[in-house]
């Protein structure tokens, strides 16, 4: 478990570093914000494109070989990005970066769910989510140490990608086989009919995070808040994201993950309602901290439910479908909310987030009544 979590955490550090690094470089070159956003969208687009191929590739190559190959290919792509320093060359390269990164997440989560005892699944998946969130946060922080000029920041990402392969190689003897033999088989698209609500929950968690990270600065500026304060609030959101997953996983064990997910969705709605009245008071800090935890807790609960409901080929296919849903949420959430903010002003942000999490809460309550 430690090896699997370490692998994906190091990968998350590299991923978390590339987003702001490339945006800073493009901004220095005078690139428009729309093109910077389009460039950033290439990575989640690569996630979506690779997802249907992952179950078959893992079956043919084995999970460990595929993970090691993807870590090497991701490092090579990042070297090419550093070498070229060109917006239009970066478009396909960032797509390939997402394409090669995605299998490692899917395989690692499948391994972890496979070896986790059912009685401790909530805590362990919560720990996994917390540490990976911390990895994403460390990526941007590392830029403060080495800056955004030249090769040094790229070398951190390249080294992190290669370290992933080394860790997987070290723990290969202890890794479980990919679950191909037993259980029902389905395609990534077919998984939508098996678990539409789980995929919508993943979509919601991804869209919520991307919307807040990309547009909270616009919301804060509209309310006259200083950039430094807004940046600190975003950091507080990420900290809550990382800190509260183990607690939420424990709640899922004591109650059940569906009920805990409903609590997370309702708490997100409450945060949307309270955001504007609390924004200029000290209450905004605990509110944003909890908001970060419960919004990402929706994804943690989805992983727990995936492990409870599916085994065999459907498990790895479900993880691949999760990656697609996450990519779609990441791509669609920010542009849609940006349009809402153009139409309704800065309140379009909490309105969009509240509508999204409220819709999930309604769907969860309907499903609970059916059960």
**Taking 80 as the threshold, does the pLDDT of residue 180 lie above it?**
no
Q: Are residues 324 and 245 in the same domain?
A: yes
Write the CA distances from 365 to 197, 223, 262, 358, integer angstroms: 11, 35, 8, 11
Q: Is residue 337 part of a domain?
A: yes
Instruction: Quick: pLDDT tens for 319-352.
Output: 889 989 988 998 888 788 888 888 888 898 899 9
Helix, coil or strand: residue 64: helix
Q: Are residues 212 and 164 in the same domain?
A: no
Q: Are residues 224 and 159 in the same domain?
A: no
Angle (CA) 232-236-237 rounded to 5° is: 120
What is the chain's mean pLDDT, rounded? 86
Q: Are residues 31 and 56 in the same domain?
A: yes
Confidence at residue 239, expressed as pLDDT on a 0 to 100 scale? 86
Q: Is residue 208 part of a domain?
A: yes
* Cα–Cα dist 44/205, whole Å: 14
Q: Are residues 243 and 284 in the same domain?
A: yes
Q: Are residues 214 and 344 in the same domain?
A: yes
The whole-number average pLDDT for the span 169-187 is 67
| Greatest mean pLDDT range, 90-94, 131-135, 185-189 | 90-94
Count of domains observed in the chain: 2
Point out the domain boundary residue: 144, 174, 204: 174
Q: Is residue 181 part of a domain?
A: no
The whole-number average pLDDT for the span 225-243 is 82
Confidence at residue 127, expressed as pLDDT on a 0 to 100 scale? 87
Q: Which two tokens stand for residue 273?
A: 């309602």
Q: Is residue 56 part of a domain?
A: yes
The pTM (predicted TM-score) of the whole model is 0.84
CATH code of 55's domain: 1.20.1250.20
Point out the domain boundary residue: 174, 198, 233: 174
Q: Is residue 354 part of a domain?
A: yes
Confidence at residue 179, expressed as pLDDT on a 0 to 100 scale? 58
* Cα–Cα dist 19/252, whole Å: 32
Q: Is residue 252 part of a domain?
A: yes
Confidence at residue 185, expressed as pLDDT on a 0 to 100 scale? 57
Q: Are residues 168 and 246 in the same domain?
A: no
Q: Are residues 154 and 209 in the same domain?
A: no
Query: Pick from 202, 191, 195, 133: which is nearest to 356 by CA?
Result: 202
Q: Are residues 208 and 130 in the same domain?
A: no
Confidence at residue 181, expressed as pLDDT on a 0 to 100 scale? 47
Q: Domain containing 213: what range?
A: 188-370
Q: Is residue 312 part of a domain?
A: yes
The whole-number average pLDDT for the span 193-208 is 92
Q: Are residues 199 and 148 in the same domain?
A: no
Q: Are residues 168 and 194 in the same domain?
A: no
Task: Tell whether the torsion through CA atoms of 362, 295, 19 and 79 is positive or negative.
Answer: negative
Confidence at residue 169, expressed as pLDDT on a 0 to 100 scale? 86
Contact 171, 3 (CB under 8 A): yes
Q: How many helices (H) and strands (E) does the chain have?
A: 15, 0
Higher pLDDT among residues 143 and 5, named by residue: 5
**Taking 90 as the threshold, does the pLDDT of residue 234 lie above it?**
no
The percentage of the chain sitting over the pLDDT mark of 90, rounded to a whole number, equals 29
Phi and psi based region of residue 85 (left: phi greater than 0; alpha: psi -120 to 50; beta: remaining): left
Q: Is residue 366 part of a domain?
A: yes
Q: Are residues 47 and 148 in the same domain?
A: yes
Lowest-confidence segment of 73-77, 170-174, 251-255, 300-304 by average pLDDT: 170-174
Point out the domain boundary residue: 114, 141, 174: 174
Displacement of CA 257 from its chain's centroid (Å): 19
* Cα–Cα dist 246/151, whole Å: 37
């Amino acid at each position: 478990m430690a090896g699997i979590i370490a692998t994906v955490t190091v990968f998350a550090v590299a991923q978390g570093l590339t987003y702001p690094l490339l945006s800073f470089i493009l901004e220095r070159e005078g690139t428009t914000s729309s093109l910077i956003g389009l460039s950033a969208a290439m990575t989640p687009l690569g996630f979506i494109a690779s997802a249907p191929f992952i179950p078959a590739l893992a079956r043919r190559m084995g999970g460990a070989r595929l993970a090691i190959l993807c870590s090497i290919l991701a490092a090579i792509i990042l070297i090419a990005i550093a070498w070229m320093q060109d917006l239009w060359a970066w478009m396909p390269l960032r797509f390939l970066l997402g394409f090669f990164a995605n299998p490692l997440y899917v395989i690692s989560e499948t391994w972890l769910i496979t070896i986790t005892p059912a009685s401790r699944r909530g805590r362990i998946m919560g720990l996994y989510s917390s540490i990976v969130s911390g990895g994403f946060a460390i990526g941007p922080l590392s830029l403060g140490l080495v800056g955004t000029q030249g090769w040094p920041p790229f070398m951190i990402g390249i080294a992190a990608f290669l370290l992933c392969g080394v860790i997987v190689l070290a723990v290969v003897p202890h890794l479980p086989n990919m679950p191909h033999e037993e259980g029902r088989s389905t395609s990534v698209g077919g998984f939508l009919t098996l678990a539409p609500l789980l995929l919508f929950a993943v979509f919601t968690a991804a869209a919520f995070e991307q919307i807040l990270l990309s547009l909270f600065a616009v919301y804060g500026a509209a309310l006259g808040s200083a950039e430094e304060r807004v940046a600190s609030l975003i950091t507080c959101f990420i900290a809550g994201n990382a800190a509260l997953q183990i607690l939420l996983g424990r709640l899922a064990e004591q109650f059940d993950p569906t009920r805990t997910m409903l609590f997370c969705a309702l708490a997100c709605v409450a945060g949307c309602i309270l955001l504007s009245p609390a924004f200029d008071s000290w209450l905004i800090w605990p509110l944003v901290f909890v908001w970060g935890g419960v919004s990402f807790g929706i994804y943690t609960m989805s992983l727990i439910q995936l492990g409870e409901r599916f085994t065999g080929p459907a498990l790895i296919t479900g993880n691949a479908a999760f990656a697609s849903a996450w990519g779609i949420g990441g791509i669609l959430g920010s542009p849609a909310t940006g349009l809402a903010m153009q139409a309704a002003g800065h309140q379009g942000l909490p309105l969009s987030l509240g509508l999204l999490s409220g819709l999930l809460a309604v769907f969860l309550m309907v499903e609970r009544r059916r059960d």
